[in-house]
Amino acid sequence: DSGVTQTPKHLITATGQRVTLRCSPRSGDLSVYWYQQSLDQGLQFLIQYYNGEERAKGNILERFSAQQFPDLHSELNLSSLELGDSALYFCASSNQGIGKETQYFGPGTRLLVL
């Protein structure tokens, strides 16, 4: 158990819908990262937050957005869902978000878009 929690574990929804994935980092960690893992693409970095501020952006679609709240939990919002958005979504956390820190991954949310 990494100490990172994610809810829900599974999510089934329809195309065109909007969903919110939630992540709570390990106690004391200030930085949160979101990754998408699909079968054909491997783990793709989406976005990083540090203490409420966006710090780095990866291959995140405009239909997706994220935020980190004052209590440091983070939410990833996916809208206008398409079949291709079906994937595992992982959240990871680290202490400061810089340096050689290890990122610890949560158990993931499995999203299925029908």
For residues 88 and 94, give the distance between their C-alpha atoms in angstroms, rounded to a whole number: 20
Range 1-30, binding another protein (CB under 8 A): 2, 4
Query: Can residue 45 be called a binding residue for another protein (CB under 8 A)?
Result: yes
For residues 102 and 114, give the distance between their C-alpha atoms in angstroms, rounded to a whole number: 35
- Looking at 3, 16, 58, 84, which residue binds another protein (CB under 8 A)? 58
Range 73-102, binding another protein (CB under 8 A): 88, 90, 94, 97-102
Q: How far is the CB of 5 from another protein (least distance, A)?
A: 11
Q: How far is the CB of 86 from another protein (least distance, A)?
A: 14
- Looking at 18, 51, 56, 80, which residue binds another protein (CB under 8 A)? 56
| Count of other CB atoms within 10 angstroms of residue 77 | 13
* Distances from the Cα of 73 to the Cα of 43, 108, 111, angstroms: 21, 15, 20
Answer for the pair 17, 33: CB distance below 8 angstroms, yes or no: no
Query: Can residue 49 be called a binding residue for another protein (CB under 8 A)?
Result: no
Phi, psi dihedral angles at 83 (to 5 degrees) = -55, -40
| Chain positions contacting another protein, by CB under 8 A | 2, 4, 31, 33, 35, 41-45, 48, 50, 55-56, 58, 88, 90, 94, 97-108, 110
